[in-house]
Amino acid sequence: MRLGDAPWTAVRDALASGAPVAAILPLGAVEAHGPHLPLITDVVISDGMAARTAAMLEGQGVRAFVLPALAYAPAGYASEFAGTISIGAAAGRAVLIDIARSLKEQGFACLAFANSHFDPENVAMLREAAAEVAALGLPVAFPDFTRRALAATLTEEFQSGACHAGQFETSLVLADRPELVDAAGGKVLADNPSSLVTAFAQGATTFAEAGGPDAYFGSPSNASAAEGARSYDIMAAALAETILACLR
């Protein structure tokens, strides 16, 4: 299911089978996620969502390849923290368009965005890129979890907006890459109920301005791998449904 792990002949044969083939692109960022989570937290989450989605589709007889993750994105809100690498929206959009062109030329039937990096600039860029890719003639599956209907399917913390490196994201990383989590450090972090959604709406431009001087929001101490597994299932199901709709 992972395109990067397959020989080119396996991809060729799948595309030549006559059945539609989807490409799932995990989208993340290299960005501060508190003192207890790795900089690639969003990459881990998006990749986990993509892999589960591909497995769901395979179970329904639909072939999908998970592309190597795109780890760089606009991440200006975390730019004051060491290790964060932010790129411009124009650069990110251009890369996505070129990836889409290449996939379309090869005969892929759909490009899916598996995104868990909810920086407002990044989400806006993805919406624009999805529209441009669709205009090229390649259907795009993009379940945008910042939209109210999809957000309502996720955890209470996620819906509150206080969900960066908190219980929601820490649980997801615990479910897939527990070795990357400082679990003991996360357990002693105080809750930070400051809502990023509210702060962004009020004009905050950095995590510190939004009330997160240590680059986390929410309740990391309440995280669990079991919660993360449940959230993955919900997110993967939403992505799978969107891909199936594209293929139809």
The CATH number that applies at residue 186 is 3.40.50.10310
- pTM comes to 0.97
Domain limits for position 154: 3-247
Q: Is the dihedral of CA 109, 23, 52, 184 positive or negative?
A: negative
Within 8 A by CB and 6+ apart from 124, the residues are 89
Tens digit of each residue's pLDDT (9 = 90 or more) over 101-156:
999 999 999 999 999 999 999 999 999 999 999 999 999 999 999 999 999 999 99
Q: Which single residue is written with the structure tokens 């998970």? A: 66
Q: Angle CA(26)–CA(211)–CA(27) in degrees, nearest 5?
A: 5
Res 248 pLDDT > 90? no
Tens digit of each residue's pLDDT (9 = 90 or more) over 41-60:
999 999 999 999 999 999 99
Counting the structural domains of the chain, the total is 1
In the chain, % of residues over pLDDT 70: 100
